[in-house]
Structure formats: C-alpha cells, structure tokens
Amino acid sequence: MSEKPVEGKPVESKSTDSSVKPDAKDKTPSKSVETSEEKKLSNKELKELKKKEKAAKRAAQKEANGISPEQQEKLAEQKREKKQQQTTNSNLKKQLIQTVIKDDSKKKVPTLFSHLETREQRNAASPSISHIVHPAILSLALKISSYKIVGSIPRLRSMLEVFKIIIEGYITPSNTTLQRHLTGHLSHQIEYLKSARPLSVSMGNAIRWLKQEISHISLDLSDIEAKQILCEKIDDFIREKIDLSDRVIIETASKHINNGSTILTFGHSQVLENLFKYCALEQDKHFNLIIVDSRPLFEGKTLFNNLIETETSPNVDDLASETSSVSSRGPKSKPITQDHIKIHYVLINSLSSTILEDVDCVFLGAHAMLSNGRLYSRVGTGLIAMMCHARNIPVLTCCESVKFSDKVQLDSVTNNELADPEDLVSNINSKQPPKKKAFALEQFIKQIEHEKKNEEKSPKGKNNVNNKNKSKKDEDDKDKAPLSNWKDIPNLNILNIMYDLTPPEYIKKVITELGGLPPSSVPVILREYRST
C-alpha cells in the first residue's frame, strides 16, 4: 500500500529510499557498494527535487497571495538589480585598481617591504570616488593624511564623530531598509578614509561594532528613531570605550608615578598625556618627565606643547591671600611644566646616555595589542622597551581594550604602514613634523612643474653654454641637498615605516580599563570582550 503513492510522488519515494537504506546496509553488508552508489545518485536527485518542490511551493504561495507569474518575473529582475547595487562595494575596488594613476616615478620601496602598500597606491584612486563621499569624510581624510589628527584614539574619536554626522544626514533610498543599506553606504566612506591612512586597529574594531549595531536595529523602527538610536550608541561607545576607560586607566597608572620619581615616555599618546596632567593637577605630584622624541613626526613635541598649555588653576586660599596683598595682579596660573613636571627633552639617539640616569619607570603608548602579547606601536617603541628591559627599568603600557586585536604578528616587517619617504628627505633641519599637502594638490603641482620643465627644455637645447651653466648649478644644488633627487638614483631607497613590534618579554604590565595585566593575558581579554 505504501509503495504506490511513493511512485506517484517521486520526491517522497527517494526520501523513503534513503531512509530505508541504512537498515538495508546493516542487514546486507555484501551489497554495501551497490547501495552507496544508489545513495549518491539519490542524494543529487534529492537536492534537485527539493529545489523544484520549494519553487513550486513558493509559486503556489504567491499565487495564493495574488501575484501572477509575470509579476514574479519582474520581482526577480528587481532583485537582480539590487544585487548589483550591493556589489558596488567590490566594483568600487575594481574601479580603484583600474584607475590607478600610472606614476612616472618608479615604486621606491626597499625589497624587504615591497609587499606593503605605498602612499601613492593608497591615494591613486581617491579622486575617482570622491563624488560619492560625504564632505565630512573628505575633510577628516585630509586631516588624517596630513598628520593633523594623529594617534589611534584621536583618529577613532574623530571618525566616530564624523560617522554621527553621516548617519544624521542619511536618507534611506526608497526600495531598501536602513539596516541593509546604511552599512554599504558607510563602507564607501570607510573605503575613502582608508586612502588617507590605513585604518587603525581601534578604528577597525569600532567599525565592526557599528555595523553589528546597525544590523541589530529592529525593522519596526522608523528611520528617524533608528538614526537617533545609532547616534546615541556611538556617543555611548565614545564615552564608555574611550573617556571612561581612559579615566580608569589613568587612576590605575597614576599609582606608578610618585612624588620625585623620574618617568620616561616616548612620543605622544593621548592617554599618557592625560595621565601626566592628572598627576600634576589633581594629585599635585611633582615628578621628572623624560620625553624621548624622534624624526620625522616629532610627536614628543606635541606632548610637550600640550603639557605647557595646561596650567595650574590657583588655589582658592592662594587667590584670597594674593588678592588681599597684591590686589592689582590677577590670579597667576603657571603651566604645569614650571613647577610640577620637570621636562627633560631628548632625541632617541641619546637614549643610552639618558637612561643611565635613574629612571623609575617607562610609560609607552600603544597603537594595538596583538593577541600574541606583542605591542604594536610607533616605530622606536621597541628600541626603548628593549633598552629599559636590559637595565631593569619596568616598562608599562597604557592601552584601552578597543585597541586589542585578535591578529598575531611576529615581526615588524610583515605588516606595517609605509609613510611618505619624502618626509625624511625634505627639510632635514626643521625639527618640525612635515607639513603635508593633500595628495591631489601635490600631484597637480608636480604636473605643472613637469610642464614648466618641458617648456624650459626646448629653448635651452639651442646653446651649449647655457647648458653647462645649468649643469654647474645642478652640482651646486647637489652640495646643498645630496638627496634632493633621490628618486632618480636607482640603488637608493628610503624607508619610512610607522610602527614596530615590541615582544611581550620587554613589557612588565599592560594597563587597561580592566586592570593591569601581563601581555600574555591579551587573548583572555579578547575572548571575554567578544562574549559580551
């Protein structure tokens, strides 16, 4: 009885066949080969049949809903169009690659680092997509690429602020929902932002978080509500992951700075700057600070300047006494560098002479903590950590948990960021960070100069005397700046990388908002962080 309807409905017959088979196998092991072949066939057929069945079911449903087959076809077409729209992201990348401006200057990267993306490559495509980019992103990209905004946390904060502006001004296109379309929209903006500098680890983490939040927004909400919720969430993120984290970190770290102790730091880190200010202003500690600085960014000078700009607010008692005695003078406010923090400013080359003075501990900033416990930070950090470790000076690093990355890396060569080598050649004695122009402007200037040169060349060729003078002048120029034309020297390369990797054995403690940890605990934190 049961077999007849099975033959009539092939779908079910196969399924019953397959369900029967294991039994058959058990019973007749000699036939196992045959049965398995049968099974394979049946599986394939099964899938096809199931598809057909599903399609049939859908068609039936739609017909039941009152949609004719023709309408269905239209819908399908619309879907295909949508899919194409969704793939614009990858199309964009293709476009970028195709529109790379073939620069006449050869790629000048040392062979060891030739796998890294150069600034030219990053920038090559940016003009071609700038029309779909929000103006706030354009200005942010410019600030980041010219090192006006530098450092992992400032970059993250400004990026999130800009995202808020974008979300507030976002209007969902008619045939999609915010949850689906906004992520793609943001991806374009991020793609452009990447052309300024590669995203920092913290920015990557924040973007991942934001995309997840967007997808979690319930479909029932109106756009305005959804946008409001997103903006609030971004604000919360900034407050929780940056501001409050920093405060916790500072409170923990300030225990390591005592009255009269000597602290060494390298470059500029936002949380460390706040730490020093906190110790001076709120805890009224007096200490020595050795700022180690390096070319070409001179971030130590930024820290120095920022410390000078923070001034002690005069105490109320002092104020009262002062006003009573010398009424004409206003309240005096001194920069904290005058009486609280004694600053010793050195460049990295004098490290070994400096470190021999009794340094009590070293505070280092972080770009990222990698999951194998290595600290990825501004180039030079590793050298300092190594020297201090060799002299038994404790090395501490302050790092918010947004900077934790699940990547692993073993040396600084495999993954790094290439900066513009021109920064190392031009203005070698300026002692200031390079003043960068926008990439497009630079290219424009280059083009004009090139045209000018061509114009000059044509009349110059006529008389040789002029030529000789020129070549003499060239020689003079060479005496002034031997590397002004370094791009024309085939065997010469200039390497300007941004980061290096400090092994975990040099780091005594990583101070995060979750407390002080050894570097080996980074993966633990990552897991906990992921699970919440």
Residue choice 6, 248, 497, 517 for contact with other proteins (CB under 8 A): 497
- Burial profile 431-457: b = 16 or more Cβ within 10 angstroms, e = fewer: eebbebebbeeebeeeeeeeeeeeeee
Closer CB to other proteins, residue 249 or residue 425?
425
- Asked if 110 touches other proteins (CB under 8 A), the answer is yes
Question: Per rule CB under 8 A, is residue 294 in the interface with other proteins?
Answer: yes
Toward other proteins, which CB reaches closer, 32 or 485? 485
Q: Give every strand in the sheet of 375-378, ordered side by side.
A: 368-369, 375-378, 499-502
Whether the CB-CB separation of 401 and 242 falls below 8 Å is answered with no
Least Å distance, CB 163 to other proteins, is 32
Which of 234, 214, 160, 212 shows the shortest CA–CA distance to 190? 160
The answer to whether the beta carbons of residues 408 and 211 sit under 8 Å apart is no
Burial class (CB in 10 A: 0-12, 13-18, 19+), 251: middle
Choosing from 98, 353, 392, 454, the residue that interacts with other proteins (CB under 8 A) is: 353
CB-based burial label for 146 (10 Å; 0-12, 13-18, 19+): middle
Single out the residue of 35, 199, 242, 296 in contact with other proteins (rule: CB under 8 A): 296
| Angle CA 59–61–65, to nearest 5 | 110
Under the binding rule (CB under 8 A), the answer on residue 327 touching other proteins is no
Question: Rule CB under 8 A: which of 418-447 touch other proteins?
Answer: 424-425, 428-429, 431
Number of Cβ within 10 Å of residue 331's Cβ equals: 12
Residue choice 30, 105, 352, 454 for contact with other proteins (CB under 8 A): 352
Q: Does the footprint of other proteins cover residue 483 (CB under 8 A)?
A: yes
Q: Using the rule CB under 8 A, is 494 a contact of other proteins? A: yes
Q: Which of 379, 507, 511, 522 binds other proteins (CB under 8 A)?
A: 379
Q: Per CB under 8 A, which of residues 463..482 are in contact with other proteins? A: 481-482
Question: Binding residue for other proteins (CB under 8 A) from 171, 440, 489, 524?
Answer: 489
Query: If binding is defined by CB under 8 A, does position 365 make contact with other proteins?
Result: no
Interstrand relation of 395-398 and 287-293 (parallel, antiparallel or unpaired): unpaired
- Residue range at the interface with other proteins (CB under 8 A); choices 138-146, 195-203, 301-309, 455-463: 301-309
Determine the interface stretch with other proteins among 44-52, 105-113, 152-160, 182-190 (rule: CB under 8 A). Answer: 105-113
Give me the residue label for tokens 């939040």.
213
Q: Is 380 in the site for other proteins (CB under 8 A)?
A: yes
Binding mask 148-187 for other proteins (x = CB under 8 A): ----------------------------------------
Q: How far is the CB of 414 from other proteins (least distance, A)?
A: 11
Give yes or no for residue 114 binding other proteins (CB under 8 A): no
Residue 407 within binding range of other proteins, rule CB under 8 A: no
Binding of other proteins by 302 (CB under 8 A): no
Whose Cβ is closer to other proteins: residue 88's or residue 354's? 354
> According to the binding rule CB under 8 A, does residue 308 interact with other proteins?
yes
C-alpha span between 432 and 509 (Å, rounded): 32
CB closer to other proteins, 505 vs 528 = 505
**3-state SS record for 34-63:** HHHHHHHHHHHHHHHHHHHHHHHHHHHHHH
Task: Tell me which of 59, 68, 78, 345 binds other proteins, using CB under 8 A.
Answer: 345
CB of 335 to other proteins, least distance (A): 6
DSSP string over 288-341: EEEEEE-TTT-HHHHHHHHHHH-BPPPPHHHHHHHHHH--SS-----BHHHHTE
Q: For residue 396, give the 3-state DSSP assignment.
A: strand
Of the candidates 25, 188, 295, 437, which one interacts with other proteins according to CB under 8 A?
Answer: 295
Taking the least distance from each CB to other proteins, the nearer of 100 and 481 is 481
3-state secondary structure of 516: strand
Any contact of residue 304 with other proteins (CB under 8 A)? yes
The residues facing 266 across adjacent strands are 292
Cβ atoms of residues 177 and 219 within 8 Å: yes
Length of the chain measured in residues: 532
Cβ 338 to other proteins shortest distance, Å: 7
Compute the Cα dihedral for 108, 112, 114, 118 and give only its sign: negative
Query: Given the complex with other proteins, which of 165 and 495 has the nearer CB atom?
Result: 495
Residue 275 makes CB contacts below 8 A (sequence gap 6+) with 249, 250, 253, 254, 257, 363, 398
For the bound state, the minimum distance from the C-beta of residue 106 to other proteins, rounded and expressed in Å, comes to 14
Using rule CB under 8 A, residue 500 touches other proteins: yes
The residues that touch other proteins, with contacts defined as CB under 8 A, are 110-112, 288, 294-296, 301, 304-305, 307-308, 335, 337-338, 342-354, 356, 378-380, 382-383, 386-387, 390, 411-413, 416, 424-425, 428-429, 431, 481-483, 486, 489-497, 499-501
